[in-house]
Chains A and B, each alone.
Chain A
Amino acid sequence: MSRFSFYLVYFHLFGVLSLYEDQVGKFDWRKQYVGQVRKLYWETERSATGGKRLYVCTDRSVIAAINTSDGDLAWRKVFEEGRRGDVDDLVYTGTSLLSVLAGTRLQAWNPAAGSLVWETAMEGDITHVGKVGYIAEPSGPGIAVGLSSTHLYGANMRDGSVLWNVELPNSDVVKYDILQVVDSVMYVIGRTSGTEVKVISVDKEGATVSSRSVLAGFLRRDTRCSVVEQMYLMCVCPASESLQVLSLQHGSVFTATSIQDLGVREGPVKVLESTPAGTVLLAPGRSVVLVSVAANNKVTVKKHLPKALVATAVQLEDKWYLMYLQASSNEELKVGGIELETGSTLSELSHTFHYPRHSGQPELMSVILARKKDGKLGYRMAVLSQDFSLQLIHKTGKVAWRREESLAYTYAVELLDLPVSENQAKFEEEFGSHADNVVTMFMKRVKTQVSQLQTFLLEHLHRLQGVKQTSGVIAEEEEEDEEDLLRDEFSLHKMMVMITEPGKIIGMRSQNGHIVWQHLVPDLAPFDTLGSKRFLLFVQRTTAHFPHQPQCVVLGKNRVSGRGQLFAFNPITGEPVSGMPGEGEHLPYSVRQAFLLGVWDEHFMKPLVMMDHSNMVQVYPASMLGFLRDQTPHVYMYQADTDNSMLYGYRLATSGATVTVDNVWTVNLQNQRLNMKITNIVGKPANEHVHSQGRVLGDRTVLYKYLNPNVVVVTTEGEEPATQQLKAYPIFNVYMIDVVTGHMLFHGHHRKAVGPIHVVHSENWVVYAYYNQKQLRHEMAALELYEGKEQSNMTAFSSLTAPTEPLVLRQAYVFPLPIFTMATSITEKGITSKDILIALKNGGIFSLPKAFMDPRRPLVPTQETQEEGTVPYIPELPVHTEGIINYYQTLSHIRGLHTSPTGLESTSLVLAYGLDLFQTQVQPSKMFDVLKEDFEHWLIASVVLAMLVASFITQKLAARKALSRQWM
């Protein structure tokens, strides 16, 4: 009990970090995404919400409804990460949404509210891609039909009860992946690679009507088959460049049509969509063909659009129209519409609209047509693009909204200070130069101040003019963007640079999440290391070096060749640096290791050093090779072979004109018996400052921190094989290695514990989280390294003359909740205490003061430990909802947390990315450097004023009293 009260006292001492309710949305924002859209349906007009929504399923395990008016999410359902949550298929029946997840979970959703109506399990293999269809019954509720790897299920659409199921023959060899419902007959199509196609038809009572096997020797792995015009199976054979067609009802043999016969260029053809009016094919060289199957199963061309990028066939009032997009001019696309029956072009459907270059190619379009009051046709069109964006275009050719879904695939983030204004920069220049004499410096000062006055006046003049011009709608929209990209007082507003999966680079304002610039590098693909995708993003030159422009460089691999792909750009404007092509630089080598050198040249540029597959050292920009050569004897690097759990340390060496590496050390973390694999390699943040060199103990001595910047934490995971007495159990190791010398500072071993291990490494401490399989709980462990009571080197740390073995303190705690990832807050000078930010799997981001994960927490508190200010040890770490910094704005599938210092020592910016984006500020030691926003100016002013008045009045009164006393 006494310990508990202690605990409470300390808890208050370290401050409950939490928001006030009126601060909601003041310095935080959340943006929700859905991911790359796979299937898209327009809501029917007669439904409850009146045709104002798009229903989508995406490859990020999401089913969502998007409002067509503004692009916001009406509702969103997020499923499990990994195979179990994959949405294989989605069908909209007009009153209900049917989905199949992971090939085995058949679900029905209420489209208006987004609530689950029912879920039914299907037997089958989880890796098999399931399909769903439905049979509408005018009288009854209808039947939902689900196809798993082994069975075809029919379920009552109202409650999900299984009406019948059909076991499919030879499901171990035949892959059943197509389901087609035509007039209450279901066709299930399976195939066996290289031999035959199986067509099974089932009626709505669940009885097998017919089962046929058709020889199909052309089937390969890359053969794409789909049902076209509801009654033919069309397979596209890239090898023979032909289309194979089979009639579903009674066909017994495939009929081939050569692609050349369609009058298009040779190459792979892709089926975009199929409707009763025909099938839209995307032919090589970006031309679109509408084909239909003739009576003899031959494919014939109905319409050829040689310039179109994508097209779709739409029905309105029994007439079919073909809508297409084609490139019009720079950054513009043209919409066109053709009535299929007559072949006439409809002028009311033809518009041009703005289509930015960074969207890449349009990949799919979906159109809904409507008859306007004046009898003309109107349309709404959704376009999916290469950069995963989804945009909606209105009847007049206006872009209503765009959703940048690539942001759900952010793999690298960097926050940069905005540049100072030109005047400010000139001021700073004054302090930089020492060559000038007093007179010129004085002149300079006068000049800058005159120009400052000038800009001030101009600004006001512009503002006055701006008031007059606020008539245009566009001005209103872009009002926010007109705000200059200049640093604010405390540098709280930053430029957020994000690199996403499709190679799209986005620059965003950190204060509100508005996109400033975008650039698409289509060939840039992420590396796949340690089980996660990542880009390497480096800041070569920050904004602090006016007039030099800031520069960032992103390194990934080429989508096609797998070699390096590099792109250097100005992070404030998003423009490529001079000499850099817009599509990036395709490197002639694959990159094994890359890092930014810690020193800059006379232009304040830090070179990017890369090691290629032949252990040669490459530099970007290449002109800095000479600079690197001067540094070579002092530059060390390391490389990990994750599969064989080997670490190699290198020193850079010059040989002739080139730079190579010498192997200095090798560490083998492998244990053949246990099959250990490296799962984490975590260094310290490069931009970190440590303010305090040690900590003062209760007896007034100082324990010095072991502040070696070259320490890297490596974790390896494996399994102890089963013996006669014991079952196999998982184990993992934690190592701390000085990567300059290869010296191992610490080795920890955990039995019956599994990952994923999340490691935070900062200053002189490491915190890692894992799952204890024996005790069935999540745990966290903290390590702290100290030199001891003497400090070996006061000025700078060198691994080569490192002190003897550091003192490693450790302690473990129970953490009650499962977590996604962890990070630590970072501040400008490192004076502020640290918070551990923990992304919880229930969608919260929890901030826990580091003091709770201090290995010096005593089991029994004494006078001395109280003096030191440590919290008594309690196994369980406190999780309280006040510490959840995103309060009720829960986040899904958080992949990373990025923290960044600001100009205020107390404040650190936090960005959580994953399916959603969330940005906020944390103040681990509360806001000690500026007045709180709830500082009561009025109260204090009124109290002071009241005091003045009171003293004045009492003075008068006292004088009167003294007088009257005199009269007594």
Chain B
Amino acid sequence: GCWIPSPAPEDIVYRSSLCRKLRAGECGATLDFAKQVGSEALHPGEDLGGSVGPLHALTLSPPSHTAGPFLSRNSTIRMTALVEDIDRLEARRGCPRQHLASRLRWFSHLCRDWLFEVPLGLLADCLHEELTHQWSSLLFDDSLTGGALAWLPPASGGPPVGRLVHPGGQAMNHLHFQDVVLEELPRARGSPEQFELSGRIRQVAAARVDGQDFVGVRSDYHCGVWRVPGKTGAAPAPLQVIRTDMPASCLTVSPHLPGELSVCTQSGTVYLWSVETGLQQLRHDPQTMFFRDHSPWRWSDFTAHPRVLSCADRTGLQCVDARAPKRCHFDLFKVGEEAGCQQGERVVLPMYLGRAHPSQYLVTTQFSIYVLDERLPLVPILKWGHMMKAPPLFAHLMPGKPGRSHKVLLGASRTQELLLLQYQGRRSRGSQSVCQLAGTPQKLHDIAGCLQHLPTQLPHRQHLLQQRLAAPAAGLAATLQEDGPHNSMLVFQLSEAGDVFCQRLTHKAAQPPAPPSRDEATTAPGSSPLFEAPASSPLGSDAAALRYRRWLRALSRACREPPRHTWRPSLSQRRLFTRRDLEGPAGPSSLHRQMRQRLRQTMREGGRVQRWEPLTTLQRPPLPQTLEPAGGLEPLNARLTAAWAGDWEQWWEERSSFSVAQRQRALRERRRRQKRAQGRRSLSASFTSSLTYQSELSELSDSGPPVPSPGRPLTLSREGTPPAGSPPVRSPPASPAHDEALLSSQSLRCRGIPKERRKTLRDYLSVWAEGP
């Protein structure tokens, strides 16, 4: 299917000058991670405030009713022009309502039928919240931390078939287990094993314990764990799923014990999750550890001791003993002086380097990487400024064999950067060699960079391809292939569009002048594409070219479908209430029964039932508006009641403003209405008694929802302002029973009205009943 890209800065910020700024500067001031992560950036930047402001104002301004002169216009508005108007409005911030541009009013008019339905203050709040959220995730989306791509290496001694675990599908909610044959060119074998999940997959983590792979999958509110048996071709089995109230921000799989994971949620809770024994809460602290930072991001990983877990937030790392989490903990890393951190530096991704050295830890910040030894905490044993443009969200470790360097890959999401660094620091017998970088770090090809090596397409296809390849990275995995003389490294990269890319780095023997211990890996000229995805370099082999063509065809086919989001959205309320909700009480009420009885009787008599009024003996059913919304009433109940009574708007104002003055006004208004109603009744007393029921009818129609009549345009008038045409009618407060009695034909007969005139009188009354 076609990929739905996540919002770009232009989608949120529409002020043209800002857009230009964002596009021009690759690491512009507004996309400054340090600023965003730093506590001072809780309030969105100046630019953001300025640009979200108008939208806020727009939604808050009430729908205008003065739409008369515009009726001849067509119903489309150019949004760009509207935005300009709003910008102008923003310039005169002092009193925006007085200078409402006509286009803006027209917009309000067009939208008033639905805009009115939405509580404006609420909409504005929601919109503002959503925009802020979108903006911050645009600046730096930490939900992807850890990456959603995992590589399960081939079982030792088995055939060279590994597995890639990654999300796919339009919503990235399908978990794929794809067998990959490691030949000269890695090749996908068969179709992937698929699991459909209920949310977008944010992270896929894997670890191998006792020859079995455990795969943890994190989406916002669910985490799941799968077990993949060591035998090739064995089907992955889902083990357990947990649901969290707050979005989970981290899921790591224990490299020590089977079926153990650690989970962090954004509320600051860290759990040790064992498939056998369930969840154990290790820590709950909404505050950050070492100094105040607003970010709710938390991380946790395992350490050399299987019962000791590290807990991280943006300010540092602590280790907690699961056997006594309250008492036993120590600081592992602190953003501050000991590590020589810069101002605004924050932890981005910690990772346990246990496969290389049992007590070493990697901590990346947006500026540097640190290697720590948990035996000598707080003092980094290696520090290096990585110079990446975006903070490294993904990391992958490939431990080297004795005498070789360990390789760490760092990956960024938005910029697709990929960095390979090698370090040494091995425990040799007795003495400990110093941890140091081996050779200089090296940048690897990013996905978007391979476009220039691909054959040119038709312009629109080229554009499509470019967009697809520029999708942010979503995961990173790698494997070393050490078969004899041809040592190479395969790097897999997942993009947010769900494509998996692969590049191969072949080992070249270091040149004689260079120190022999240096392990240089260089990109081979013929990097290879995996699956249907293209990769860098002119397509080396025929197989790769074929795969690329197939992928491209599928891509253009998927995108030729009409994009669904351009259709007019329609909202269905059908499911809002179930049928049962809409049904009345289970059995027919006594009223029903009586009505039916009456209907049958009338039919038997061959007469007509003109008004569905209960018999004189019946109690009048209480009308909804008589239900005075009491203080203890449920909000929804109160709101529905208000809506029924037609003064919904007032109800909203009452609810949203809570101002005493308004309440008093409302109270006064209600009293006046009551008085008027009473007045009407008393006035009608001077009419003939036959008119009394009319007054009752008008009262009914007055308080019910307005009935559309051809003569007047539809207006939603406030309750209490009587329609201009209706004369003030007064009637004495008659008892309902009495009124009902008047309407029946028997009573008319009793009053001496001749039979032939009775119909005329009824017709007359019904005209009155139809409204003013």
| A and B: interacting chains | no
B interface residues with partner A (beta carbon < 8 Å): none
A interface residues with partner B (beta carbon < 8 Å): none
